[in-house]
Structure 1
Amino acid sequence: MIETAYAKINLALHVRRRREDGYHELETLFAFVDAGDKLSISSAARDELRTCGEFGGELADPFGNIVAKALSALPRPQGWAVTLEKNLPVAAGLGGGSADAGALFRLVEREYGLPDDWHSRAAELGADVPACVLSQTCIGRGTGTELEPVESDLAGIPVLLVNPRLPLATGPVFKGWDAVDQGPMPQGPVSRIALEGRNDLEAPAIVLCPAIADVLTALGDTHPWLARMSGSGATCFALYEDDAAREAAAVQLAAQHPGWWQLAGHLR
């Protein structure tokens, strides 16, 4: 069986407060691109994991990564040999590891069904994992695990992901947040939340990785419908009115910044 680990983006990400448990209270609008990593599985005597793909070598400890943990978290009557084709950059604000775990959950669901407590098992692996299991547009609250699926009026819109090939750890970005509550996420259609929302982690991420500002400026020069940083960075995304506009933007950025990573797709 083969499953895509769909890249996650945050169309909006509002940080409301620091919690006593060390986490942050969030309001976020998750969306997913119809492209990402690939997981393929086959029967095996015991669980095995191998990585390949452009960024497969950046997973220093494949047996301790989130896919291996997801394998241990879900009961199955036999072992699985899993091949992870890592197409998404690591530590990039795309929920790559969470998306991989989410894809594994869907594979288990397809073959055996998921246990009733799958949501809590997913949340124990990471705050983005429950949303990545669903891989559909939804609002996340709390630490991002309290999910509210929503009908998206942006489904199918062309999207371009751009990363300056610089990893950025989530913890230091959250630590750099100024602790000022800028207000709740807007209400209404997904398009309105995206346009009127914001990413409160953009400013602290740019302090740590100034190239993010360069990516946002370059995307802005392609006249997108919306350009914003995803998650805690460093990946940024741009939404376009049609495929032709996105393709023209991709060509322009590739010529101006040949070292940057790109991925084109559509929102699911």
Structure 2
Amino acid sequence: MAHIQTAYAKINLALHVRARRDDGYHELETLFAFVDQGDVLTASAAEQDEVTVVGEFGTALTDPFDNIATKALGKLPRANGLRVMLEKNLPVAAGLGGGSADAGAIFRIVREIHGLPDDWQARAAALGADVPACVESLTCIGRGTGTELETIESNLTGTSVLLVNPRIPLATGPVFKAWDGEDHGPMPTGTASLIAQKGRNDLEAPAISICPEISTVLESLNGTDAFLSRMSGSGATCFALYRSHDVMREAAEKLAFDHPDWWQMPGTLR
């Protein structure tokens, strides 16, 4: 029997960088949200673990032993193996937590079949700062490096969202390195929509300094009837939120016409 899970695209509705830490990481405050679209993982029982990657962005993951889905399987010892086919629909190095989402989907598949060990959160965090949030893939607040999670009831669930990427990979490390080191203040408190509206992404400016095309994407999204547009994570993907699916579809069509080379994915916030 096959077990199918969507690796939901992660976006940061707000991302406040508060300080550089001595361990090389950064102290963050972020509002994670998840889109109902993403990579698709299909798993079935096997003698040993095996991951095959297909899909539009599958060629970006050339080493089957070095992708995070394989590493996630290695973090969760089981009596039986799993054969996983990973359909890679999300661009790589794009600020969408695609790899983390894949790992989160692996955790959900293993939970469904075998259950998870009590220390699964620590195992998830060892794979990457976004992975613990991606296991449940529900709107939540992340602190520390992003692994200290706090639940928040989302009044944005069901909101139409459009993801747009200029098809330029952008590694996280250089973007954090280009951050100005200034603490511009804490993330606001309140509802998810209030935090999103009044918050910011402190990595937007450093990301644009490395990849100027991000500002073109943001200008284009701002030119649509969105009530919020912002860069996600360390970029280069940007998102826009819309009052209705029809308005979002109209924006998607306009952007596809004006910029046929850009990647886009329409969806709904979970």
- TM-score of the superposition, structure 1-length normalised? 0.99
Offset at residue 15 of structure 1 (A) = 0.1
Aligned to 1:247: 249
Aligned to 2:214: 212
Offset at residue 7 of structure 1 (A) = 0.2
Report the secondary structure of 2:65's partner residue.
helix
Aligned to 1:31: 33
Offset at residue 60 of structure 1 (A) = 2.2
Report the secondary structure of 1:115's partner residue.
coil
Aligned to 1:102: 104
Count residues in correspondence: 268
Amino acid at match of 2:30: T
Amino acid at match of 2:187: M
Aligned to 2:16: 14
Offset at residue 122 of structure 1 (A) = 0.3
- The CA distance in 1 between the partners of 2:221 and 2:28, in whole Å, is 26
Please give the per-residue CA displacement for 1:192-231, whole angstroms capped at 9, x wherever unaligned: 0000000000000001000000000000000201000000
Offset at residue 110 of structure 1 (A) = 0.8
Offset at residue 97 of structure 1 (A) = 0.1
Match of 1:71 among 70, 73, 76: 73
Identity of aligned pairs, percent? 68
Q: How large is the RMSD of aligned CA atoms in angstroms?
A: 0.5
Please give the per-residue CA displacement for 1:45-79, whole angstroms capped at 9, x wherever unaligned: 11111000000011121221111100110011111
- The CA distance in 1 between the partners of 2:115 and 2:105, in whole Å, is 13
Amino acid at match of 1:110: E
Amino acid at match of 1:250: A
Please give the per-residue CA displacement for 1:159-218, whole angstroms capped at 9, x wherever unaligned: 000000000000000000000000000000000000000000000000100000000000
- The CA distance in 2 between the partners of 1:32 and 1:97, in whole Å, is 14
4+ residue runs of structure 1 moved beyond 2 angstroms?
none
Aligned to 1:48: 50
- The CA distance in 2 between the partners of 1:53 and 1:149, in whole Å, is 33
Alignment of 1:179-194 (within 5 A): 179-194=181-196
Amino acid at match of 1:177: W
Match of 2:135 among 133, 136, 146: 133
Gaps of 5+ in 2: none
- The CA distance in 1 between the partners of 2:229 and 2:173, in whole Å, is 23
Match of 1:195 among 191, 194, 197: 197
- The CA distance in 1 between the partners of 2:96 and 2:68, in whole Å, is 14
Amino acid at match of 2:236: A
- TM-score of the superposition, structure 2-length normalised? 0.99
Aligned to 2:59: 57
* Greater alpha carbon shift after TM alignment, 71-80 vs 140-149: 71-80
- The CA distance in 2 between the partners of 1:194 and 1:44, in whole Å, is 43
Offset at residue 263 of structure 1 (A) = 0.2
